[in-house]
């Protein structure tokens, strides 16, 4: 994939052995060169060759569904369906019928038979996202399905055999839920034959430029635009940001920037303000506090005047070009604009 100018100097150089692995990963939607993500993928690849149920744990946005799809694609079940369901999005009363289906007349509004997700996934894989949100009563039924490899539709008497591999995922520490009595221990062990723990983005920062490049290509095609370049300062901000929402948050930030840019260059003005907010907090926290010692008193008014003079000197040197002045001061353009407004510099 072509590298967008502005990113190339931040891309890691993988060793020879890693190149083949990362090529396979990228084909399956897993983007990264870091040791953390490669090691996790190799574990997933080994697990995929078995028929065991798998539990994937990781923070929101780390790519649990992507890994589940990759495991299915690498497995002997890849000829069969991959069926997914989010246990947190469906009300408890409806989740059972979504999973196992229902017969006509099973409840008000059930005008015809519905096939559930487990039947649809027969000879394939079912992905149960946010499994920790499943009620204890439904967990008991899930346990029977996994042990007996059969399901019964809601309102039906027929026992239906199903051959399904279960991949469950959660952004919680599921064992903690077991200890708190919120999740059945016997079901936990049935799901957790093989476990994968996905690293958060802050533990694989070297993958950020590669992910940026990947999503830039993805969304410029989706939005029908061409991005010629990205400001290296944007890459620096992305590398320093904490990314509590992980890869999903980074993806959204790139999509936002592509939508907001007015030309074919992604600049600081185009990225979400929350990314700049962290930068401003870091800048402010690095400033020394006001000093008061014997007859020496430095007030905020004095500091404001000193800052104002410093900014004006930088603007003069840059012929009042704000972007250039910001570079001279070592701050972002948005930060300089706000300081100018606060200090009354026009």
Q: Residue 189: which CATH number?
A: 3.40.50.300
**Residues 188 and 303 grouped into a single domain:** no
Q: Which residues contact 176 (CB under 8 A, 6 or more apart)?
A: none
Asked if residue 49 has pLDDT above 90, the reply is yes
Closest listed residue to residue 214, CA positions, set 21, 23, 13, 31: 31
3-state SS assignment for residue 116: coil
Residue 11 inside a domain? The answer is: no
Residue 136 lies in a domain: yes
| Helices of type H across the chain | 16-27, 35-48, 64-74, 92-100, 117-120, 136-148, 174-179, 185-191, 208-223, 232-240, 246-260, 273-286, 300-317, 322-329, 333-343
Q: Max Cα separation, the chain?
A: 90
Residues 40 and 180 in one domain: yes
Residue 143 lies in a domain: yes
pLDDT in tens, 167-209: 999 999 999 999 999 999 999 999 999 999 999 999 999 999 9
Average pLDDT, the chain: 88
Instruction: Tell me, yes or no, whether 155 lies in a domain.
Output: yes
* C-alpha dihedral, 18 to 19 to 21 to 23, nearest 10°: 160
Residue 172 CA to residue 286 CA, distance in Å, equals: 34
From the list 250, 251, 203, the residue with the least C-alpha distance to 40 is 203
Q: Count the neighbouring beta carbons within 10 Å of the beta carbon of residue 64.
A: 23
Is residue 258 a part of any domain in this protein?
Answer: no
Instruction: Report residue 300's pLDDT band, with 50, 70 and 90 as the boundaries.
Output: very low
**pLDDT tens, position by position, 203-236:** 999 999 999 999 999 999 999 999 999 999 999 9
Rounded to whole angstroms, the Cα distance separating 232 from 226 reads 18
Same domain assignment for residues 167 and 307: no
Q: Catalogue the E-assigned strands of 82-132.
A: 82-86, 101-102, 114-115, 125-129
Q: What sign has the CA pseudo-torsion 212, 213, 217, 218? A: negative
Residue 67 lies in a domain: yes
**Amino acid 293: pLDDT:** 44
Q: Do the Cβ atoms of 227 and 261 come closer than 8 Å?
A: yes
Domain shared by 57 and 185, yes or no: yes
CATH number at residue 330: 1.10.10.60
Q: Would you say 52 and 193 are in contact if contact means Cβ atoms under 8 Å apart?
A: yes
Averaged pLDDT, 48-57: 97
Last residue of a domain, one of 198, 223, 243: 198
Per-residue pLDDT for 12 more than 90? no
Given 198, 223, 248, the domain boundary residue is 198
Q: Does residue 174 share a domain with residue 69? A: yes
192 lies in the same domain as 305: no
- Write the pLDDT tens digit of every residue in 133-142: 999 999 999 9
The percent of residues in the chain predicted with pLDDT above 90, rounded, is 68
**Total-model pTM:** 0.79
Q: Quote the pLDDT of residue 279.
A: 55
On the question of pLDDT at 316 being above 50, the answer is yes
User: Is residue 305 a part of any domain in this protein?
Assistant: yes
Which among 178, 198, 218 is the end of a domain? 198
With 80 as the cut, is the pLDDT of residue 238 above it?
Answer: yes
- Domain presence at residue 215: no
DSSP label at residue 154: B
The residues pairing with 55 across neighbouring beta strands, listed in sequence order, are: 168, 195
Where in the sequence is the domain holding 310, given as residue range(s)? Answer: 291-346
How does residue 330 score in pLDDT terms, banded at 50, 70 and 90?
low
Asked if 66 contacts 29 with a C-beta cutoff of 8 angstroms, the reply is yes
Summarize pLDDT for 77-122 with one digit per residue, the tens: 999 999 999 999 999 889 999 999 999 988 888 889 999 999 999 9
| Alpha carbon of residue 78 to chain centroid | 25
Contacting residues for 226 by C-beta, under 8 A, at least 6 apart: 220, 264
Residue 285 reports pLDDT greater than 50: no
């Amino acid at each position: 994939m072509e590298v967008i100018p502005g990113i190339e100097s931040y891309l890691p150089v993988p060793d020879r052995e890693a190149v083949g692995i990362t090529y396979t990963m990228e084909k399956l939607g897993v983007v990264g060169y870091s040791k953390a993500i490669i090691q996790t993928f190799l574990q997933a690849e080994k697990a995929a060759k078995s028929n065991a149920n798998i539990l994937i744990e990781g923070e929101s946005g780390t790519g649990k569904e992507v890994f589940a799809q990759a495991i299915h694609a690498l497995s002997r079940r890849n000829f069969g369906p991959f069926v997914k369901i989010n246990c947190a999005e469906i009300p408890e009363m409806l989740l059972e019928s979504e999973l196992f289906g229902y017969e006509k007349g099973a409840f008000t509004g059930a005008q015809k038979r519905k096939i559930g997700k487990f039947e649809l996934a027969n000879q394939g894989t079912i992905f149960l996202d946010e499994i920790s949100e499943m009620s204890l009563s439904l967990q008991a039924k899930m346990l029977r399905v996994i042990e007996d490899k059969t399901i019964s539709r809601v309102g039906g008497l027929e026992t239906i055999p199903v051959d399904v591999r279960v991949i469950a995922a959660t952004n919680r520490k599921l064992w903690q839920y077991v200890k708190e009595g919120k999740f059945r221990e016997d079901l936990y062990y049935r799901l957790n034959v093989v476990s994968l723990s996905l690293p958060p983005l802050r533990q694989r920062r070297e993958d950020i430029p590669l992910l940026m490049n990947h999503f830039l290509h993805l969304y410029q095609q989706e939005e029908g635009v061409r991005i010629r370049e990205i400001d290296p300062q944007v890459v620096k901000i992305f590398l320093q940001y904490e990314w509590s929402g992980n890869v999903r948050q980074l993806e959204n930030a790139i999509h936002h920037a592509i939508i907001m840019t007015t030309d074919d260059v992604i600049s600081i003005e185009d990225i979400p303000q929350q990314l700049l907010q962290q930068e401003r907090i870091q800048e402010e926290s690095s400033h020394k506090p006001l000093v008061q010692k014997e007859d020496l008193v430095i007030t905020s008014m004095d500091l404001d005047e000193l800052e104002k003079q410093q900014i004006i000197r930088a603007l003069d040197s840059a012929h009042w070009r704000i972007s250039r002045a910001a570079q001279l001061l070592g701050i972002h353009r948005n930060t300089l604009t706000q300081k100018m407004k606060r200090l009354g510099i026009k």
